[in-house]
A = this chain, B = another copy of it.
Amino acid sequence: MGKVYLVGAGPGAADLLTLRAARVLARADVVFHDSLVDESVLDMAPQARRVAVGKRCGQLSTAQHFINRQLVDAARRHGCVVRLKGGDPMLFGRAQEEISALLDAGIDVEVVPGISAAFGASAALGRSLTRRGLSRSVVFLTPAVGTGERPHAWADAARGAETAVLYMASRQAEAIAGGLLAAGVPPARPAVLVEDATLPTQRVLPTTVARLPETARQLAGGPALILVGEVYAELIEQGAQLPAQGAGQIAAA
């Protein structure tokens, strides 16, 4: 009976995996990965059979129960099974469903944390999520626009914290901006879109809450975060001087 490792693939760049993740990947027999995990990360598991389970931005390409079944089956045939998830497995990764299915089948699980996109983006921007006197709280959320019993719960959560990071939100920027404004977030509050954080294709688009819809139209279709808060005010002032490319090097003026 093998063991299943839920491993965080980090925000994009392969050298942002942890040492522990790299060690587990190096001896993996099979790797089940999301479609957004970069080829260079998969290359860290040279001996492993690769199985794309095809989730992209939270959309369900492979049904979750089928992924669970595949993981259980693989653990019965192999010693080291890796479930590789973009960012950190424990944030928006449906990890609990996989852990439960594995434990129910009598299979041991180990979770190896990863750098979530918000931290990769913050490093690249050179902007702290929190700042003394300005922000002591940061909320990470996925907006459930117009669904569920409390359709505006996500916007209330975003307003309640001083910095907000919205995952899997950039494709519905119009509804996001509307929800934030309706929840009482000021239209001029600074925001920034970060696409392909930490990858060479990274793009940084400073804006405001009111202008989110028009700014989101400039995105190229990669995974993007929306970051909102007064900590991003200087980004708007700096404009084009931003690190539009690359990974986190902040040059002195």
Establish whether residues A111 and B126, one from each chain, have CB atoms under 8 Å apart when the complex forms: yes
Contacts of A115 in B (CB 8 A): 18, 88, 113-115
Contacts of A138 in B (CB 8 A): 91, 139-141
Assembly stoichiometry (copies): 2
The answer to whether the Cβ of A130 comes within 8 Å of any Cβ in the partner chain is yes
Establish whether residues B137 and A141, one from each chain, have CB atoms under 8 Å apart when the complex forms: yes
Establish whether residues A113 and B109, one from each chain, have CB atoms under 8 Å apart when the complex forms: no
Instruction: Using CB atoms and an 8 Å cutoff, list the residues of chain A in contact with chain B.
Output: 8, 10-11, 13-20, 22-23, 88-97, 99, 102-103, 105-116, 119-120, 122-124, 126-132, 136-142, 144, 153-154, 156-162, 231, 248-253
Could you write out 17 A-B pairs with CB less than 8 Å apart? Answer: A14-B19, A18-B18, A19-B22, A88-B122, A91-B119, A93-B128, A94-B132, A96-B127, A99-B250, A106-B252, A113-B119, A113-B123, A136-B144, A137-B142, A139-B139, A139-B140, A161-B161
